Chain A
């Protein structure tokens, strides 16, 4: 992070400098530290041996940086499988959701239909139904369809997408009407218009929807927790809880190794593409 104090543009008096440091840098550095120190502690602890953790004589750095906790975690539960499952669920789920959102949003904006507003409201209201409310009924439904302990059972109930539809619709509405008029005169059908004109000019918005969807699919917890009990089909967040054992010792090192595997991939994606993710998640905030 940037710890070098640089000159503000305005002329510097000593007092001004002090004000900048106290009012500007101190809060920023403090905030950044509060965010990163716990994550740093997670990474350090994941490399400590059990006797460096189950002790009252704590050292900040591990005696030696050991990856033993990672292999212990992988021995205890099939972590490779969890990782693979999470990836499959995330990629498949997000891909389908983005396509569905794109189709729906396109139809809502560019295709004529009498009950459009009602359908949009129906989709929008779905945004506020907490997923927790649907757990029990969906569990019974999916189980009845044979979806327990399957990856599609994890993916299916979340596929309907209100968030992506909403976001893309807002974006499409902002596109200039002239963009499509030419194509309409050329006689291009909706399908062509969608993929040749609308989608290409909306790549940033689509990327935003895709990234936000990927992050939320990866982190999804309550539904996979309920619908899967066979480790062969568990995703990372669910599998992580398997590492906690009832009458074993407090295996914090191993748990931290597991936490690293869940958190770090998202952190990397976020670091690389945070612009789009932040935009998507704060969408609709500045209305006035």
Chain B
């Protein structure tokens, strides 16, 4: 109590205050975490034989890719397809970070959803904290055809031979360009094969006298997911944020890749950095090309007043294939809800992954159909560009551990990106600093928790 400083009071007042304080000490300790050594690790009961699914469950989503309408429609379809389970859609945040904050704080004793949307950088933390359950038993019991899920998408959620989530709103970055601008600059109607090639194109775009053009290329917003799309540049040069658990952000290859990005902004001055949404910058005609999630595709097509082109991500001098990361979000089931809710949740997960449902979701947003057998012909007839995004799935590469498995790493990466892409900071220095930060974060938050 003494450590609470007080303004000058006389002694009697102070003592009575102290007495008041000590009375609340008991209260003070309640509600927080337990500091007792953890009891013998209890084997979570994952046997769902004979469990009746809960009648009503909540699904927490951020409606990625403006998917609120299609999510509502799919839930409606699920609710009327059977009589056992009714799902309610809850908007639990505006982006992956907000929903994660809500989910994490709800662990502290709040009401948890039965199904939660989890992004590529969050599910592993939930696994470390024990906040989600492995789905294998449920998958078996409900006969979910995991074999039909796209391998690169479902494998992202496997750890220790267990499946921790199922893919849902999965995306890759995609190269978007303004076909009118490309035409005006006399460029071929395709995405560049390498970034060096784009480096030759960019001055032509800048000099083509396009009205309203600010820069030929727009880097995605740093506050969003800079660490995600920059992997493309890093891998093209043979670098990366990390090689498994070895941090490689300061390797000569990584530094060269980021140096190239910095030169595009400060030396050659044909690239800018988006402040909130690169795909909107493209739609407005302020930039000729950008890299953005496939989940932005439908939005861009709606907003743009010109012909939009899309293509694979360009490669680099060392590597041209595969240089495209996967990303986006999956669906998981919290450990803190009843088995009845978990079973009901799994039924909903299975439903959302049915080929026709994932096709419908994909058509409405531009996210990838998660099932190989999803029939996309109707969708492709309407917007053939989604085909490019789907084709690119065959040349994707799993993300660097540093970005997806180290809690908070994405934020540190974004800070470094800001220091070199919006300020002319020394790339080598900043990347070395980043590497050291990532290493200490790994040692603090991940290493002790790895089985």
Direct interface between A and B, CB < 8 A = yes
How many Å lie between the Cα of A56 and that of B178 in the bound state?
Answer: 15
Is the beta-carbon distance between B94 and A242 smaller than 8 angstroms? yes
- B86 CB-CB contact with A under 8 Å: no
B66 proximity list for chain A (CB < 8 A) = 245, 247-248
- B320 CB-CB contact with A under 8 Å: no
B278 to chain A minimum Cβ distance, whole angstroms, is 10
Q: Which of B62, B93, B214, B277 contacts A56 (CB 8 A)?
A: B214
B: contact size bracket: 35 or more
Which of B6, B60, B66, B214 neighbours the largest number of chain A CB atoms within 10 Å of its CB? B66
**Chain B binding surface SS class:** loop
- B2 CB-CB contact with A under 8 Å: no
Q: Which of the segments B133-141, B191-199, B295-303, B379-387 contacts the partner chain?
A: B295-303
Asked, given contacts A56-B214, A56-B286, A248-B65, whether A241 binds B94 with beta carbons under 8 Å apart, the answer is yes
| Closest partner residue, chain A, to B365 (CB atom) | A247
Asked, given contacts A51-B305, A56-B286, whether A144 binds B31 with beta carbons under 8 Å apart, the answer is yes
Which chain B residues in 326-351 approach chain A with CB under 8 Å? none
Q: Which of the segments A10-18, A22-30, A114-122, A212-220 contacts the partner chain?
A: A114-122
Number of A-B contacts (CB under 8 A): 104
Q: Which of the segments B35-43, B104-112, B122-130, B429-437 contacts the partner chain?
A: B104-112
Q: Which of the segments A154-162, A183-191, A224-232 contacts the partner chain?
A: A224-232
Is the beta-carbon distance between B299 and A248 smaller than 8 angstroms? yes
- B284 CB-CB contact with A under 8 Å: yes
Mark A147-158 against chain B: 1 for CB-CB distance below 8 A, else 0. 011000000000
B303 proximity list for chain A (CB < 8 A) = 50-51, 54, 249
Is the beta-carbon distance between A143 and B108 smaller than 8 angstroms? yes
- B9 CB-CB contact with A under 8 Å: yes
B434 to chain A minimum Cβ distance, whole angstroms, is 24
- B357 CB-CB contact with A under 8 Å: no
Mark B17-49 against chain A: 1 for CB-CB distance below 8 A, else 0. 100000000000011100000000000000000
How many Å lie between the Cα of A245 and that of B303 in the bound state?
Answer: 15
- A141 CB-CB contact with B under 8 Å: yes
How many Å lie between the Cα of A249 and that of B366 in the bound state?
Answer: 14
Is the beta-carbon distance between A121 and B7 smaller than 8 angstroms? yes
A-B contact sample (11 more), CB < 8 A, given A125-B7, A230-B90, A245-B63: A51-B303, A56-B284, A77-B91, A144-B31, A245-B95, A246-B62, A247-B64, A247-B277, A247-B279, A248-B299, A250-B277
Identify the B interface with A (CB < 8 A).
6-7, 9, 13, 16-17, 30-32, 60, 62-66, 68, 90-96, 98, 102, 105-106, 108-111, 212, 214, 224, 276-277, 279-280, 283-286, 293, 295-296, 299-300, 303, 305
Q: List 6 A-B contacts (CB under 8 A).
A: A54-B280, A54-B283, A56-B214, A56-B286, A231-B90, A247-B279
Identify the A interface with B (CB < 8 A).
50-51, 54-57, 76-77, 115, 117-118, 121-122, 125, 137, 139-141, 143-144, 148-149, 226, 229-231, 241-250
